[in-house]
A and B are shown apart, each in its own frame.
Chain A
Amino acid sequence: DAGVIQSPRHEVTEMGQEVTLRCKPISGHDYLFWYRQTMMRGLELLIYFNNNVPIDDSGMPEDRFSAKMPNASFSTLKIQPSEPRDSAVYFCASSTRQGYEQYFGPGTRLTVT
């Protein structure tokens, strides 16, 4: 079975541009998570969905960040406008049910110049 799929794997953009990161969870998983990894803050949860509904977005840093899950097999994380401090690796993860094992995608390395 395919694992969590993320695209693009690398993204380089200029400050002020819109960035869209994409994720396809493992088929049959009801939970989808977006995490961000930086040297300063480590790995932190941004938002998670259950059955396509956002449950907790308290980790989203500011209004420039938005996430959607239009169906069970696709989610996007959008940054508009992007800033250099948004440079990080963004991971998507999925799991079958609450409290159960989460599986991570390969991540998207974002660089904002």
Chain B
Amino acid sequence: GIQVEQSPPDLILQEGANSTLRCNFSDSVNNLQWFHQNPWGQLINLFYIPSGTKQNGRLSATTVATERYSLLYISSSQTTDSGVYFCARGVTGGGNKLTFGTGTQLKVEL
């Protein structure tokens, strides 16, 4: 079955809008990370968040490990937020391997 499922697959926003990206995962996790892959292909760490809530500027993330999901919030979106957002999880007892979701393709328009 699908181990890491992200939604929505695609999202178009007007600049200034807010959005929520979701990541559902199977199995208990020892690692949950959110990445932004920019148009140049670089994977940028956003959050390491196996549980709880974190905030960094306009971005915040929440992971509810007991219910096996994580959310990424983007507020006041900007065109530079465009790209693909990946959720990746490592499982308890699974060594140190990350399994990636298929990503959410975000485009922020003026």
Q: Do A and B bind each other?
A: yes
**Nearest CB to that of B95 among chain A residues?**
A56
Docked complex Cα distance between A106 and B97 (Å): 19
List, in ascending order, chain B residues with CB within 8 A of A50's CB: 96
Determine the main DSSP class of A at the interface with B: strand
List, in ascending order, chain A residues with CB within 8 A of B48's CB: 100-101
**Range of interface residues on A (Cβ < 8 Å):** 20 to 34
> Is the pair B41, A107 in contact by a Cβ cutoff of 8 Å?
yes
**How many chain B residues touch A (Cβ–Cβ < 8 Å)?**
22
B62 interfacial by beta-carbon distance below 8 Å = no
> Is the pair A95, B33 in contact by a Cβ cutoff of 8 Å?
no
> Is the pair A91, B33 in contact by a Cβ cutoff of 8 Å?
no
> Is the pair B45, A101 in contact by a Cβ cutoff of 8 Å?
yes
The one of B31, B41, B100 that contacts A42, using a Cβ cutoff of 8 Å: B100
> Is the pair B98, A45 in contact by a Cβ cutoff of 8 Å?
yes
> Is the pair A42, B95 in contact by a Cβ cutoff of 8 Å?
no
Near A by CB (< 8 A), chain B positions 70-97 give 86, 88, 90, 92, 95-97
Docked complex Cα distance between A43 and B31 (Å): 16
Docked complex Cα distance between A37 and B45 (Å): 17
State whether A44 and B41 are in contact (beta carbons under 8 Å apart), knowing that A99-B90, A100-B31, A100-B48 are contacts in the complex.
no
B residues with a Cβ closer than 8 A to A are: 30-31, 33, 35, 41-43, 45, 48, 50, 86, 88, 90, 92, 95-100, 102-103
Given contacts A42-B102, A99-B92, A107-B41, 14 further A-B contacts (CB under 8 A): A31-B96, A33-B98, A43-B100, A45-B98, A50-B96, A56-B97, A91-B43, A95-B96, A98-B96, A99-B31, A102-B31, A103-B45, A106-B42, A107-B42
